[in-house]
Amino acid sequence: HGAAFLGSSCLRAFRLGDANGTAVDSHNVSPTITKCWSVCSRIVNLLGKGLMHADEVIGNACAQGLVISFSYDGHDAPILNPFLYEGFALALNELNSALKKFNSIDHADPTRASTLIRAAGVLLAASTSGAGSRSNTEDVSVDLGPARLQCTEALFSILGGAAYRKDEELSLAVGEALAAYADAFGNAKWSNESEIWPDDYDEVFAFDLPPHQHVLYTLFQREVTHTNPLKRNASAAVLLALVAHASRQANLGRMDRAMVKQVSKNINLFQNSFIKLLSDPKSKQLSRESCCRGLAACRGLAHTLGDDGGILNERLLKAFGQTTYGGSAMIETESQARERRNERDGADADFPETEIGGAAGITESALGAFREMAAAAISLGRPDTVYSLLILSTSHSAWLAPGNRDKYNERSLLGNARAENSVSVRNALRPHLGKLVPRLLRACNDPNKHTREQMNSLWVALTGGGAESRAVITQNFLSTIDALIQDAVCSSWRARAGACSAISDIIVGRSWDELGGGGVVVDDDGEKMNTTASIRLIRLWRSALRALDDVRLVVRERGEVLGRSLRALTIRLCDPSVLISSDDTFLSDSDQMKKDREIEVQAEYAAAVSLGWLVKYGLNAPCPEATGICISCLLGIVDVSKPTTLQPVLAELCYALLMAMSGLEPAALNYLQVRAAGDSNSGGSGNDRYDNLERIRIQAAMSGPIATALNKCLEMVKHVDLETQQKLVPVFDSSLRTGAGFATRAATADAVSNLSNSCPSAFRFKGISSVNPTVRLLRALYYASERERGITAKDKMTHALGNLAALAPGSSVRQLVIKACKRYCESSGSNNDPSARKAAAATVRAIVVRSSNQLYDGGPNDIWRKKVLPVAFLGRHDEDTKVSTLWKDVWDEGGSIMSSSGRNDDTYGITLQENLLPFLEMAIISALRDMSWARRRHACSALLELSNSNILAPTSRSIIGDEDENDHDRFLQRAKSSSVLLRECTRIIARPRVWVGKADTIKAGSIIAGKWCSIAPAKGTSIDSLHGYYHTEWFPIVLKIDSYDDLFDGDGWFALNHSEADYLQDADCDVDEVK
């Protein structure tokens, strides 16, 4: 380091000290001076050779030594002494090799490349006077002119190279080196200048150009249009360095320099190149920010050269194109553009053309951030402000480096064209932030990454970031949220996506008052006047649900984020406990109570608005994701709300939750259940598999969050007024009748059972007709249970029906029971319906077991004794064991109640069968005469049971003659019933048709006849002497003397001589069956 620093310092001092001496006249030089120049040339040569040293410290020391040696204090580089040409050329040759080495893949080193780039810039600038020199001797291996061109190409090769990939800031260093090379001699006259450049890059033509034209020509014709995106990215920083250097020189009054003139002539190329690179989808942060600052430098240079910037501004704003918030005043419409082209080219006005933006080939996403800046500047009426906004939007660390801070700041780039500094710009824009904040926030959340990064930097620069930004949003919250809500449903998908993300960010932690306050409005009619918090909350939900159902995936993803944020906000607004601020600690008790009451009222407002809209519209959304977020929000609101808060919408909420039980269940489960029931290859019966899957589905539904919310709502019912409670009964009726799945019906049944026990008064209405909600619900439960296929849901509905029957009017319950018994009797034979028979039996059992109070009132027809229990007696003999078990429960439970009630004024007996004997007799006869063979079999079995139980036999005291008046009535009751049943049995036996169960009739008839034969009187003989109050007409069996041919009196049965053929014909059956 010491040797390099000492040698380079001596060389610099000697070179600058003799700048006007031997450099001008090298022939009249003393030998001592010549020797000194020879030593200087050797020093330059040695420093050049040290650039390739393997030790990084030595290499950097040599590079810094060259920088010191040929640095200068003025604006123009001193003339290079001819004695240094040879050593200088060798050093440039070594520098060229070093640049190539440390930019290669194997030896890429950004640190060494950076020092070499700086050294190259200094050497190229210092050797400008010898640009075209060539040695006349053959001993010199390298000429200075070609070495300079090779070094320039090495600098260009850094752009996009291996070293650049490791450190993109090298491109800015290359730009500064090329700027120093191009402006080394500002006022020099160049013999090979050319104002006309070929369209395609020509290396020979480029090498013949002076440095300032050489650099610009190579950049515009080769680097900016290169196919390698890394090359294009790196070119932006080089262009910035050039135009910034020219702008700084112009600001200092050096407008006559060749490099400044050349840049100003090509200012349009610079601007177009910056815009093109901005729109490049492959551009990186440094490239984009270089373009932003480069555009500002173009404006500053043009202003310094006397241009008012109108054309430049117009071209820039048109290139940025139309914003998503409406066209700028500087942008022509499609029709205006067509008219202009027609006037210019004479084309057909009706010829269809497609416009894709302000600049050809620039997509909507590429210039999103800059369109917003342009729109902001135009809306403020200050187009020049866009350049300050461009600079404020840059945040790369390269601009804060000590060497770059003063070179690329706003003052340096814009000069006198700058509006104000960043603080002044921020203060000037503050009155207009109400218009700017929505645009900036939307652009800060743009789907394009480049737009987001650019606008986030601008947002922080304008608002300060952090708490200051939050305060700015709060100050303009209402106008901002209204504008973003409109953007969330506009036609541009990018605006929709950005607005959704912006809304989700700014609504966090907001209160009811911040949203606008006001009362409850559950419908938004679209009016813009008197927009309250209710309207804004509804519009927010509408925007979120639309975003969730958007055709664009990006918008749907942003809609999910907005939905979650909106859900959190809504739940927070409905929870009064989280709205109490910590600042309220110092309030007095009365003020605290008043404050708490206001918060509770606001929570009630929020809950009423949210629940009302979500129940009415949210749960009916066609998009499943939207329905899911609405359900989740409903669950959260229910979890934090008080009963008084939910009271206005409790009925609608319960209905929505009940319908959601099946509505949100995957349809695949129903498909699986139906297919499993019909799969004959699986083990077990189809009904068992169906019931198992149904039980699993109901368990899953009942353990889910919707069921939890429903249970909490039902727990709140007992805390609300009676009118609200009674509103739930029609809701349950509607959910049973319109529910799409058994999960809804099962949940409704559980809800009815729950409220029947906790709030029985809710089911007591006046009236017994179908307008009575309880009666309608009772019938709905019966019909739903009858239609239900699965056993689990059917049992739940039957259970609920039994609980509800205890609260329903008695006449309605009796009508339902009669209908169920009739339905049971009709659902056999050719109309066989096992499900209907089971539903009827389960319904009667549920009413008898769970509503036993109804059995004490049989109505004017005493249906329980005369209709229900006789049907139950026959139903116990049903072939289906489940049905027979149900009827057995009805018989046992109903019989015990009938026995305890003592309502047997018209019948006599000790046991239940004897007490109900007249009604059992009618039921059995009706069944025996039924068209259904199953009903006949049940009757035969029941008749046989009565016969075996000695019910159809004389009383024990009547046989021994020791009777009282009560025994006399029992005897007459038995005699009448036995006579009727024996006659019916005889008639059935007399019919020749043979059927299953007829044998029981024969057995029963034989038993009845045998029981009564012991006391049967002979016809014509009075037994009044023995039993003064007995009469023969009441006896089932009467002995008729001298009557051998009659089975029944006068029928001549045994006298008839039927042949076997006649018997078979009458029997209407096969011989085998007869036998």
Give tens-digit pLDDT for 809-822: 888 899 999 999 99
Which whole number is the average pLDDT over 987-1013? 82
Cα dihedral angle (274, 276, 282, 284), rounded to 10 degrees? 20
At 363, the pLDDT band (50, 70, 90 cuts) reads very low
- Cα 199–Cα 202–Cα 205 angle in degrees, nearest 5: 105
Structure confidence at residue 176 (pLDDT): 92
pLDDT for 917-973, tens place per residue?
888 889 888 888 888 888 888 888 888 888 888 888 877 655 545 555 567 777 888
pLDDT score of 310 more than 60: yes
- What is the pLDDT at residue 1070? 38
Which has the minimum average pLDDT: 238-247, 758-767, 907-916? 907-916
790 vs 57, higher pLDDT: 57
pLDDT of 527 reads: 53
Range 671-691 average pLDDT: 65
What's the confidence (pLDDT) of residue 1025? Answer: 41
Region of poorest pLDDT, from 257-261, 379-383, 659-663, 1063-1067:
1063-1067
Kindly state the average pLDDT of the residues 14-36: 71
Least confident segment among 113-127, 508-522, 890-904: 890-904
Percent of the chain with pLDDT over 70: 79
The pLDDT of residue 16 is 82
State how far Cα 269 lies from the chain centre. Answer: 47
Q: What angle do CA 148, 143, 132 make, to 5 degrees?
A: 60
Q: Residue 301: its pLDDT value, please?
A: 85
pLDDT tens, position by position, 21-31: 555 455 667 88
Cα-Cα-Cα-Cα dihedral sign, residues 526, 532, 538, 542: positive
For residue 914, give the nearest of 875, 960, 869, 849 by alpha carbon. Answer: 869
List pLDDT tens digits, range 398-447.
888 888 888 888 778 877 655 455 566 666 666 767 777 888 888 888 88
pLDDT tens per residue, range 958-997 = 554 555 556 777 788 888 888 888 888 888 887 878 878 8
Residue in the structure block whose two tokens are 């139906």: 674
- Chain length of the chain: 1075
| DSSP string for residues in 657-677 | HHHHHHHTS-HHHHHHHHHHH
- Residue 112 confidence (pLDDT): 92
The residue-averaged pLDDT of 186-200 equals 76
Residue 325 has pLDDT above 60, yes or no: no
SS3 state of residue 396: coil
CB contact at 8 A, 455 and 511? no
What was the pLDDT predicted at 524?
Answer: 61
Asked if the model's pLDDT at residue 354 lies above 70, the reply is no
pTM: 0.63
pLDDT of residue 330: 34
Q: Provide the mean pLDDT of the chain.
A: 79
Going from the C-alpha of 1068 to that of each of 365, 458, 1000, 1062, 1065, the distances in angstroms are 92, 103, 21, 10, 5
pLDDT of 1073 > 80? The answer is: no
Query: What pLDDT, on a 0 to 100 scale, did the predictor assign at position 333?
Result: 44
Q: How far apart are CA 374 and CA 386, in angstroms?
A: 6
DSSP at 31: H
Q: What is the pLDDT of residue 1060?
A: 43
Question: Is residue 322 over pLDDT 50?
Answer: no
Question: What is the pLDDT, as a whole number, of residue 1047?
Answer: 66
Return the pLDDT at 502: 92
Cα dihedral sign, 560-566-571-572: positive
Q: Are 1027 and 997 in contact (CB under 8 A)?
A: no
Amino acid at 155: L
Q: What is the helix, strand, coil percentage profile of the chain, to 5?
A: 70, 0, 30
| Per-residue pLDDT tens over the stretch 699-736 | 887 888 888 888 888 888 888 888 888 889 999 999 88
Does residue 803 register a pLDDT over 50?
yes
What's the pLDDT score for residue 955?
Answer: 75
Q: How many CA atoms lie within 13 A of 699 on its CB side?
A: 6
Task: Tell me the per-residue pLDDT of 141-162, one tens digit each, with 9 for 90 and over.
Answer: 567 888 888 999 999 999 999 9
Q: Would you state the pLDDT for residue 236?
A: 92
